[in-house]
């Protein structure tokens, strides 16, 4: 996001899931396209998304702070022992609206 790169599950969990997860948030995807060739062990996905973020417990407050973003996702997969694994996920923020402080970590 914004040119940052996060690698490895522990870093992704700490920098993304542990921060975004507790928020009142909805990510709506559309224009999902998956490209996988017969017999291939790699695939790719592209999608657009609208992502609403509210501080934890504040999503139901009509006057509460909100941050909305339109994004494009580019995801690469590899098949390992019959399971598809994400190997790269690029999020490009196309536009933003609302209170950017919602996306700031406390402290």
Is 4 among the domain residues?
no
Mean pLDDT of the chain: 92
Q: Is the pLDDT of residue 2 over 90?
A: no
Closest CA to 54 of 27, 29, 72, 30: 27
pLDDT at position 107: 64
What local confidence, expressed as pLDDT, does residue 13 receive?
86
Give residue-wise pLDDT tens across range 33-65: 999 999 999 999 999 999 999 999 999 999 999
Assess if residue 71 is contained within a domain. yes
pTM to 2 decimal places: 0.82
Residue 77 lies in a domain: yes
Residue 3 lies in a domain: no
pLDDT of residue 29: 98
Dihedral in degrees, nearest 10, Cα atoms 8, 2, 97, 72 = -70
pLDDT at 3: 62
* Residue ranges in 1-107 assigned as alpha helix (H): 9-12, 18-20
State the CATH number of the domain containing residue 50.
3.10.450.50
Which letter, b or e, does each residue of 3-12 get, where b requires 16 or more Cβ atoms within 10 Å of its Cβ? eeeeeeeeee
- Number of domain units in the chain: 1
Question: What sign has the CA pseudo-torsion 19, 21, 22, 28?
Answer: positive
Q: Residue 67 belongs to what domain range?
A: 9-103
């Amino acid at each position: 996001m914004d040119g940052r790169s996060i690698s490895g599950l522990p870093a992704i969990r700490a920098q993304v899931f542990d921060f975004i997860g507790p928020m009142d948030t909805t990510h709506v995807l559309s224009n999902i396209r998956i490209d996988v060739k017969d017999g291939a062990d790699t695939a790719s996905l592209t999608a657009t998304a609208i992502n609403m973020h509210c501080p934890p417990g504040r999503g139901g407050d009509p006057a509460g702070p909100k941050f909305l973003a339109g994004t494009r996702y580019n995801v690469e997969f590899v098949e390992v022992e019959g399971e598809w694994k994400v190997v790269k996920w690029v999020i490009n923020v196309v536009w933003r609206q609302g209170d950017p402080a919602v996306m700031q970590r406390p402290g």
